Copies of this chain bind each other. A is one copy, B any other.
Amino acid sequence: MRLSRLGEDRLLAELLARLPCNDSVVFAAGDDCAATRVRGSSELLVLKTDCLVEHVHFASRANPLDVGWKAIMRPVSDFAAVSALPHFALVTLIAPGRTEAAWVKKLYAGLARGAAKFDISIVGGETSSTPGPIAIAVALAGFVERDRFITRRGGRAGDDLFVTGRLGGALRRKHLRFVPRIAESRWLTGHFSIHAMMDLSDGLGTDLPRLARASKVGFHINMDALPLSPDCKIDNALSDGEDYELLFAISPRDRERLETTWRKKFPRLRLTRIGRFDRKSKIENRKLPGGYVHFQ
């Protein structure tokens, strides 16, 4: 069977089930980031890699400054999802020999700008030639306090579901210039018990069912409550993807305090309660149309 028919989620699930994993690994593939214990440290080491491919994730005519920014911001957004702080980046650039050095320099300027924004040191850079399209892989390493590492798995029936910002339309607007929700995520875990969290990269319609599956619960969404980007409809919020907003589950007992203190702390960023987790209900979960699936 070909990759295009198998789909990324199923392929990864099959492959990762067989990989070697030793005792120091706390959370591995399947969450937004992996976390491992470090001898002598009270914090967890957090690791994540992500890549952009020309023609797939960015157009050849895209500004290389923006491409570099997005290449590092995507894994930074995964750090936001688990409430960790990224510290170090390794960059792998695969590019044809005909690529202009000026393009590559601008790409690195975009990477450097993104790294500086979050005090990340770019500590390694590999390059390789290719006969094919340009690809940029960024691996991040960082740390998180053990009790603030948030996975997708802790959601409970009855939890409120919140999203930051607005959903939909990212490809027309911000997908090359977004700022991951690191500050918001760190504030949330510093002040509240967040049960489960993820960043929205493939669209709420794909990502929310993933969060629910990982937490082994069902969900109910109030479609009319979805915070839509300008000129967007519900379909865009569900399926466009690349929002890079946070989706998290929290006890309804915290609702009032969360909404009040959020408005004071982040007055310019919406926080919207879009629904709740409930007991598993296959019918409900099927109501969300799928988002973007790789290899199709």
- Cβ–Cβ < 8 Å partners of A92 in chain B: 49-51, 92, 137, 139
Chain A at the B interface: mostly helix, strand, loop or mixed? mixed
A29 and B125 contact, CB distance less than 8 A: yes
B98 and A4 contact, CB distance less than 8 A: yes
**What 0/1 pattern do residues 2 to 22 of A give for CB contact below 8 A with B?**
111010100110111011111
Would you list 17 pairs from A and B whose C-beta atoms are within 8 A, ordered by A residue? Answer: A1-B101, A3-B101, A8-B127, A18-B109, A19-B115, A21-B121, A22-B121, A24-B87, A38-B45, A50-B92, A52-B128, A53-B129, A55-B131, A57-B128, A92-B92, A127-B294, A128-B294
Q: Which residue of B lies closest to A35 (CB)?
A: B123
Q: Which residue of B lies closest to A130 (CB)?
A: B53
Task: For A137, give its contact among B34, B38, B115, B137 (CB under 8 Å).
Answer: B137
Question: Is A90 interfacial (CB 8 A cutoff)?
Answer: yes
- Cβ–Cβ < 8 Å partners of A116 in chain B: 20
B19 and A112 contact, CB distance less than 8 A: yes
Distance in angstroms between the alpha carbons of A52 and B92 in the assembled complex? 11
Question: Is A105 interfacial (CB 8 A cutoff)?
Answer: yes
Question: Is A267 interfacial (CB 8 A cutoff)?
Answer: no
Distance in angstroms between the alpha carbons of A112 and B49 in the assembled complex? 18
Question: Is A108 interfacial (CB 8 A cutoff)?
Answer: yes
Q: Which residue of B lies closest to A91 (CB)?
A: B49
Instruction: Give the number of residues in A that approach B within 8 Å (Cβ atoms).
Output: 85
- Cβ–Cβ < 8 Å partners of A130 in chain B: 53, 55-56, 132-133, 135
- Cβ–Cβ < 8 Å partners of A15 in chain B: 104-105, 108, 125
* Residue of A14, A99, A125 contacting most chain B CB atoms (<10 Å): A125
Question: Is A259 interfacial (CB 8 A cutoff)?
Answer: no
Distance in angstroms between the alpha carbons of A287 and B21 in the assembled complex? 47
Which 8 residue pairs are nearest across A and B when measured between Cβ atoms? A132-B132, A4-B97, A34-B123, A139-B139, A49-B90, A19-B122, A40-B41, A137-B137
- Cβ–Cβ < 8 Å partners of A19 in chain B: 108, 111-112, 115, 121-122, 125
